[in-house]
Amino acid sequence: MTYTAEMLESIKVVEATRAQRIGQVFPTMSLEERQKLLNSFHPDYLTEGMREIRVGCCKGMRMPLELAKVIEGRPHVSEDFDLSQPEYESDILVIGGGGAGASAALLAQENGAKVILATKLRFGDANTMMAQGGIQAADRPNDSPAIHYLDVIGGGHFANFPDLVEALVKDAPLVIDWLESLGVMFDKYPDGTMMEEHGGGTSRKRMHSARDYSGAEIMRVLRDEVRNRPDIDVMEFSPAVELVLDDKGSVCGAILMNLETGHYFYVKTKVVVIATGGSGRLHYQGFPTTNHYGATGDGIVLAYRAGAELVFLDTMQYHPTGAAYPEQILGQLVTEKVRGLGAQPVNIKGEQFVYPLEPRDVEAAAFIRECKERHLGIVTPGGQPAVWLDTPMIDLINGAGTIEKALPAMFRQYRRFNIDMTKQPILVYPTLHYQNGGVKIDANCHTSVPGLLVAGETSGGVHGRNRLMGNSLLDVCVFGRRAGRTAAALCKEITHGKPTLEHVSAWNRQLDSVGINGALRSPILLPDYARKG
Amino acid sequence: MAEAYELVPIYIMGKRYEVPSSLTIMKAMEWAGYTLIRGVGCRGGFCGACSTVYRIKDDPKLYFGLACQTVVKPEMYLGQIPFFPAKRASYDINELEAKATTLFQVYPEILRCLGCGTCTKACPQELNVKGYMAAAMRGDIESLANMSFDCIMCGLCAARCPAEEPQYNIAILARRLYGKYLAPRSAHLAQRVSEIQQGAFDAELTELKNLDSNALKERYVARTIEP
């Protein structure tokens, strides 16, 4: 499982230009150039990949075909489901066991609430666990939350909701401090100064990392802490399939499903926090994804059916550097930190063709243009187009051993397939990575439905139309914590009426009225990868 | 559609299937018709959900790997360890002190380690588990934290351990103690946290929030980029 003869020939060209490329800075694009490139080559701008949804409070909103189909699905349960005997009761139900869910559970518990954290797979099986590159926070003297603010909102094409961006950048150093107080090991110099790098679209070095296991380190610490708190019950293999509302339209729990037995049961709570993550496993436009197995957009489906407004769901993030070869790891993440440490994207002529750290959508579109329009990419035996990412530059620039020390996960991943990324470049192409939009929230995670809070990738607004690297680990911690605090405060004041599933019948009537007769039940919970027959 | 790939026989929990030779164990199971619930997570080598034990026909040795990262081999007999009931101590990190005796108090079984190295052989991350357990027995929290850093907590070490050690849970205790108490403090972070708490950036952020789109774009374009 090494490179083909054709690839090895191409590598020689890349090697030949390497010495002269070191130190050579490819110019960044103007805002106009960025927009022109996006219009022509970014998957979000491909009109046939999108359609309007036909039901619900955001009827007419455009989103990817695959997501629209799931949103317009039939509920798992009907209105006559017996709600008189909840199997569990608590103050707060957190749905989702990633970074946002864990943060929400911790802060809710600290603020006096009893919490059930329910998750579809194992606690910690989440995109948070897979985030490699790092977490942004403006904590160095030459940086400030205001500079971070500008980077975030420019990267998001100025569409971001200002209150959310303010919360993100202002809480960021507090989150780093909080994570350290829980025992997260950030990369530091011996005097305690944080090692911080650039990410795409940053104007200051503010990417904190934990080798290239940044998300894994954060997730395993948060998970360990949740398990240490007696007032948080964790229910694994228990996805939510429907929210329950009371007769005043306020959320008072959810129907969960035992994923292994198929048994549905009611968990009655005063407040629900949805933190189910994104939807990469819907494979928009057929793209491979970096996302974990459970990323099927469940939270959006649940919240929307209960009446929550959505926002920016016509924009998905394609990470520029997904693994394009070998086929076994197709679509898996090659962290942006690889470019942050100096590796340049290079075409088959051994030339740079884009500034290595443009915002992700721009960088991805440039890779697609290089392959599809200029035909200066490689095509793998599996038919996958790709460009080179010149990883050996990292050790040349930063000293021998840097890759093994700073990127152990990447190094290990390629070595498993007999590719030594310290000596040979790797092949990359954009891969579906992140859901930029989601359920509309305010700075304290309220949605348009009373009693329903949303945090993390399921929410939308903070990243506008494009998220920068290192702002999703930050997002899950900032808004997870805020959701937990808000939830604990809310449950002290809420009194619920009678629980009902009337909205389920209303939803079915809406589907009927516009002629949607498909049998697809949503949330779909798992992607269907089993070969049939 | 013509099947242009080479098929190899594998045994999934004892049952024989023929699967394309290029697939990972996880994709081979799906190719064989399985819808996975247990034994699958991130599919990218980070979460430790898909620990797999396998043996090749006529070879007595047991091999270990992650189903999402390991390519099938002909005549492979595989089983998954999607959950292992290793001991996990509960503690309040704020009440602990970062010293050797803390490790022994929370996990007294550390001192039962035989030093046999079976854990190291089982680790799909190729960590020196025996080495970090030796650090644990010395009470060397810093070495234990650093040596175990790339652990994905899959539990294969514990599943194989004749002394019934929960190595990966001992390791996260050490990493948390190190991160919280022993790692050098960051003066610039403490400074920034205090500035934020005093509202030092509030006015500037409020001004930015109220700028119209053109003014904001001008500020964005004019910002200097740190080399």
Q: What is the ipTM of this complex?
A: 0.97
pLDDT bucket at A519, cuts 50 / 70 / 90: confident
Where residue A345 sits, what CATH number does that domain have?
Answer: 3.90.700.10
Q: Which residues on chain B are in Cβ contact (under 8 Å) with A332?
A: 43-45
Q: Is residue A55 part of a domain?
A: no
Phi and psi, residue A388, nearest 5°: -80, 145
Contact A211, A408 (CB under 8 A): yes
Residue B1 has pLDDT above 50, yes or no: no
Please report which confidence band the pLDDT of residue B31 belongs to, taking 50, 70 and 90 as the band edges. Answer: very high
pLDDT of B224 over the 90 cut: yes
A75 is in which domain, residue-wise? Answer: 70-315+436-505
Tens of pLDDT, residue by residue over A70-111, are 999 999 999 999 999 999 999 999 999 999 999 999 999 999
User: Cβ of B220 and A153 within 8 Å?
Assistant: yes
CB neighbour burial string for A251-289, b if at least 16 within 10 angstroms, e if fewer: bbbbbbbebeeeebbbbbbbbbbbbbbbbbbbbbbebbb
Whether pLDDT at B39 is above 90: yes
Among the three residues A411, A432, A453, which one is the final residue of a domain in this structure? A432
A391 near A420, Cβ under 8 Å?
Answer: no
Whether residues A119 and A10 fall in one domain: no
Q: Which of A432, A458, A487 is the last residue of a domain?
A: A432
Q: Which residue has the higher pLDDT, A187 or A132?
A: A187
Question: Is A146–B186 a contact, with Cβ atoms under 8 angstroms apart?
Answer: no
Domain boundary among A401, A432, A463: A432
Please indicate, yes or no, whether residues A74 and A151 belong to a single structural domain of this protein. Answer: yes
Across A302-319, average pLDDT: 97
**Number of domain units in chain A:** 2
Identify the band that residue A246 occupies on the pLDDT scale cut at 50, 70 and 90.
very high
Q: Give yes or no: residues A425 and A445 share one domain.
A: no
Across the interface, of A149, A188, A329, the residue whose CB is closest to B186 is A188
Place B4 in a pLDDT band, splitting at 50, 70 and 90: low
pLDDT tens figures, B130-182:
999 999 999 999 999 999 999 999 999 999 999 999 999 999 999 999 999 99
Give the separation between CA A280 and CA A258, rounded to whole angstroms: 23
Does A396 lie in the same domain as A309?
no
Say if residue A105 is in the same domain as residue A144: yes
From the candidates B196, B212, B217, which should be mutated to test the interface with A, based on the most A CB atoms within 10 A?
A: B196
What DSSP string runs through A465-497?
T-PPTTHHHHHHHHHHHHHHHHHHHHHHH----
A529: in domain = no
Q: Note whether A226 and A295 are same-domain residues.
A: yes
Q: Mean pLDDT across the stretch A124-142?
A: 96
In this predicted structure, what is the pLDDT of residue B217? 96
Taking chain A, what is the end-to-end CA distance rounded to the nearest angstrom?
29
Task: Tell me if residue B177 falls in helix, strand or coil.
Answer: helix
Sheet holding A232-235, edge to edge: A232-235, A115-118, A92-95, A271-274, A452-454
Tell me which chain B residue has its CA closest to the CA of residue A331: B44
Residues of B with Cβ-Cβ distance to A23 under 8 angstroms: none
Chain-chain contact of B201 with A145 (C-beta, under 8 angstroms): yes
Statement to judge: residues A268 and A415 lie in one domain: no
Task: Assess whether A373 and A413 both reside in one domain.
Answer: yes
Task: Write out chain A residues lying below 8 Å of B225, CB-based.
Answer: 203
CATH number, position A81: 3.50.50.60
Amino acid letter at A313? L
Whether this prediction's pTM lies above 0.80 is answered by yes
Q: Give domain status of residue A516, yes or no.
A: no
Q: CA A164 → CA A443, A478, B26, B205, distances in Å?
A: 5, 10, 39, 12
Listed residue (B206, B107, B111) closest to B163, CA to CA: B111
Give the count of beta carbons closer than 10 Å to the beta carbon of residue B163: 16
Residue A202 lies in a domain: yes
User: Are the CB atoms for A293 and B50 separated by under 8 Å?
Assistant: no
Question: Is residue A82 in some structural domain?
Answer: yes
For residue A21, is it within any domain? yes
Residue in chain A nearest B192 by alpha carbon: A139
Q: Is residue A208 classed as helix, strand or coil in its secondary structure? A: strand
User: Which chain A residue's Cα is nearest to B40?
Assistant: A293
Condensed to tens digits (0 to 9), the pLDDT of residues A223-236 reads 999 999 999 999 99
Task: Report pLDDT for A532.
Answer: 85
**Nearest-Cα residue of chain B relative to residue A203:** B225
Q: Is A42 noted as a catalytic residue in this protein?
A: no
CATH numbers and ranges of domains, chain B:
7-80 (3.10.20.30), 93-182 (1.10.1060.10), 197-222 (no CATH)
Q: Are residues A32 and A94 in the same domain?
A: no
Catalytic residue among A319, A360, A369, A482: A319
Structure confidence by residue, pLDDT tens digits, A325-348: 998 899 999 998 899 999 999 999
Asked if pLDDT for residue B5 goes beyond 80, the answer is no
pLDDT at B2: 38
Asked if A183 and B152 come within 8 Å (Cβ–Cβ), the reply is no
**pLDDT exceeds 70 at position A130:** yes
- Of residues A292, A305, A339, A482, which has the active-site annotation? A339
Shared-domain flag, residues A190 and A223: yes
Q: What share of chain A is helix, strand, coil (3-state, %, to 5)?
A: 35, 20, 45
To the nearest whole Å, the CA of B92 is away from the closest chain A CA by 7
pLDDT at A525 over 50: yes
- My answer on whether A110 and A210 are in the same domain is yes
Q: Are residues A120 and A206 in the same domain?
A: yes
Residues in chain B within 8 Å Cβ distance of A409? 45-46, 150
Task: Give the closest-approach CA distance of B171 to chain A in angstroms.
Answer: 11
Residue A449 C-beta-side C-alpha neighbours within 13 Å: 31
* Rounded mean pLDDT, A277-295: 96
Closest Cα in chain B, distance from residue A49 (Å): 26
Cβ pair A222, A235 in contact under 8 A: no
The predicted-structure confidence for A445-486, as pLDDT tens digits, reads as follows 999 999 999 999 999 999 999 999 999 999 999 999 999 999
Residue B82 amino acid letter = P
pLDDT number for residue A101: 98
Confidence of residue B3 (pLDDT cuts 50, 70, 90): very low
Contacts of B67 in chain A (CB under 8 A): none
Average pLDDT, integer, range A280-309? 97
Give, rounded to a whole angstrom, the gap between the first and last alpha carbons of chain B.
53
The DSSP H or E segment spanning A118 is strand A115-118
Nearest alpha carbon to residue A334 among A360, A352, A297: A360
Q: Let me know if residue A530 belongs to a domain.
A: no
What band does A159 get if pLDDT is binned at 50, 70 and 90?
very high
Q: Evaluate whether residue A264 is within a structural domain.
A: yes
Q: Which residues contact A248 (CB under 8 A, 6 or more apart)?
A: A450, A496, A497
